[in-house]
Amino acid sequence: MRALTVDAHGGLDQLRFRRDVPAPEIALPDDVRIRVHAAALNRLDLWVIQGVPGVRISPGWILGSDCAGVVDAVGPAVTSVGIGDRVTVNPGVSDRTCEYCRTGDNPLCLRYGILGEHRPGTLADFVVVPAANVLTIPSDVPFSTAAAFPLATLSAWRMLMSRAKVRESDQVLIRGIGGGVALAALLIAKSLGARVWVTSGSDAKLDRARVLGADELLNHRTEDVAKEVRARTAKRGVDVVIDCVGEATWASSLGSLGKRGRLVTCGGTSGHMVQTDVRRLFWNQWTIMGSTMGSDEEFALIVDQLRKGRLYPVIDSEFPLEQGHKAFERLHSGEQFGKIVVTVAES
């Protein structure tokens, strides 16, 4: 089969499009094989190419976490989907038996793995996953939409709904609008009726975010974000900050946070070491939360939204699998607004 692979860690020059990769076979009774129609890129793919501490890849490693397609084969124990079903895939694979899975916290699974990072990925003609990771989508949801949807929307859903528990009365500040998680967070926060602030270094991205419903726009290159938030809220600050940028934004994210504020992070694209003044943390009674991916229950909830035509991801661009390196160059540029989709099969 065709696949976008890397043989070793390094830069984008490690990317290799191949036509000779063996197609994965059904190995376990509850496995499902999917003929991939569309896949989508995530920041995680760049981390995998670069190298993630503790994660080893073997030569010919297939990248990609997100995909949508058609069920092509099923193991004997599979009853939830059948051959020919159009599906989208939860990129996080858990054992569903450990103490964390049993209490509905699949992302904390002791044997958690993400497609493309710990298991062969989705940038290929076929991928094999457990049936519990697969949910059907109606015929009116395009494969590109269903492929761009899972990782970013699942991550954002858990951050806003399960961790920060955003309410209609909340003011939510989202850092770095244009990224998949940030955009999904914007759509979710607006669907809840919250007032949403977004930041970017690009006025063009801010303008596009306004069209999607963002209420307050802040260009972090030309404005002091924390100072501006304080000024526009009569010193009150916001209730929730969604920050996946890390080092570069941490101080101003906390500086924007009002009393009882909640900050949720799911990554540190600018750097991983941050500083927090503990006096401000306790005095303002802030809550700083980590979040990653989402549970089976959360995946079912977001796919239910997708089936109803809600929370459709913003798609920046689409590239055929053969031109996967161009898709990665786009991702690496940071110029994208929304998801970068890789089309694999004709829809």
Return the residues of window 75-94 that contact Zn ion according to CB under 5 A.
94
Q: Which is nearer to Zn ion, 83 or 300 (CB)?
A: 300
Separation between Cα atoms, residue 244 and residue 237, nearest integer Å: 19
Q: Does 95 bind Zn ion (CB under 5 A)?
A: yes
Residue 121 vs residues 36, 65, 109, 228: alpha-carbon distances, Å: 11, 6, 19, 42
Shortest reach from residue 129's CB to Zn ion, in Å: 16
What's the closest the beta carbon of residue 104 comes to Zn ion, in angstroms?
A: 11
Rounded least distance, CB 100 to Zn ion, Å: 5
Question: Quick one: which segment of 14-22, 96-104, 269-277, 299-307 binds Zn ion (CB under 5 A)?
Answer: 96-104
Structure tokens at 301: 């909830």
Out of 15, 109, 182, 225, name the contact with Zn ion by CB under 5 A.
109
State yes or no: residue 73 binds Zn ion (CB under 5 A).
no
Comparing CA positions, the residue from 61, 42, 126 lying closest to residue 87 is 126
Residue number with CB closer to Zn ion (100 or 312): 100
Q: Which residues, numbered 281-310, are part of the site for Zn ion (CB under 5 A)?
A: none
Least distance from Zn ion to the Cβ atom of residue 96, Å: 6
Which pair of structure tokens corresponds to residue 12?
A: 């984008």
- Residue 54, CA distances (Å) to 9, 48, 51, 91 in order: 13, 11, 9, 19
One residue of 36, 74, 101, 321 binding Zn ion per CB under 5 A: 101
Shortest Å, Cβ 232 to Zn ion? 44
Least distance from Zn ion to the Cβ atom of residue 105, Å: 8
Burial class (CB in 10 A: 0-12, 13-18, 19+), 182: buried
Residues 230 and 260: their CA atoms lie apart, in Å, by 15
Q: Is the separation of the CB atoms in 131 and 75 below 8 Å? A: yes
Verify binding: residue 98, Zn ion, rule CB under 5 A: yes
Nearer to Zn ion, 106 or 155 (CB): 106
How far, in Å, CA of 347 to CA of 72, rounded?
Answer: 15
Which residues contribute to the site for Zn ion (CB under 5 A)? 94-95, 98, 101, 109
